[in-house]
Amino acid sequence: MGRILSIDYGRKRVGIAITDPLKIIASGLKTIPAKDIFTFLTMYLNSENIECIVVGYPLQMNGKPSESMEFIAPFIKKLKKTFPKMPVELVDERFTSKIAFQTMIDGGVKKKKRQNKALIDTISATIILQSYLEQKK
């Protein structure tokens, strides 16, 4: 039984989250530079049992794709081409960065650490993945 990996793709950084083996809980894994994402995924997918990749899909309030889809769509296309046997699912990621920031405040994270955008990206990937898991219940 494989895990599910989640990606919050950005131009500069990519937040990564992973489920536990039973696919109950999403946990932040790391944030990596966007330029290194395919190197990371190749190594990770070869060493771990991953059954699906979930990618945050940015939508506007009216449900249409946001402007950031112009750089996310080519990433998704390359992801599917690079790993053709790996299922890729898209999940609405509206407000995940804001929720991630509020989660840090609620969790007592100091103001200086809340400025760490890499941490926000990892938390966002975790929120995307947990949302996916809840949809699948």
pTM (predicted TM-score): 0.85
Q: For the segment 85-102, what is each residue's pLDDT rounded down to a tens digit?
A: 999 999 887 656 566 556
d(CA 88, CA 83): 9
Query: For the purposes of burial, counting CB atoms within 10 Å of the CB of 5, is it exposed (0-12), middle (13-18) or buried (19 or more)?
Result: buried
The torsion defined by the Cα of 101, 113, 36 and 74, in degrees rounded to 10, comes to 20
Q: For the segment 9-18, what is each residue's pLDDT rounded down to a tens digit?
A: 999 999 999 9
CATH 3.40.50.2300 is the classification of domain 3-136:
no
Q: Two tokens at 16?
A: 């990564």
The pLDDT value recorded for residue 3 is 97
DSSP class per residue in 1-64 = --EEEEEEE-SSEEEEEEE-TTS--EEEEEEEEGGGHHHHHHHHHHHS-EEEEEEEE-B-TTSS
The pLDDT value recorded for residue 103 is 66
Share of residues in the chain with pLDDT > 90 (%): 56
Which of the four pLDDT bands, split at 50, 70 and 90, describes residue 51?
A: very high
The pLDDT value recorded for residue 59 is 73
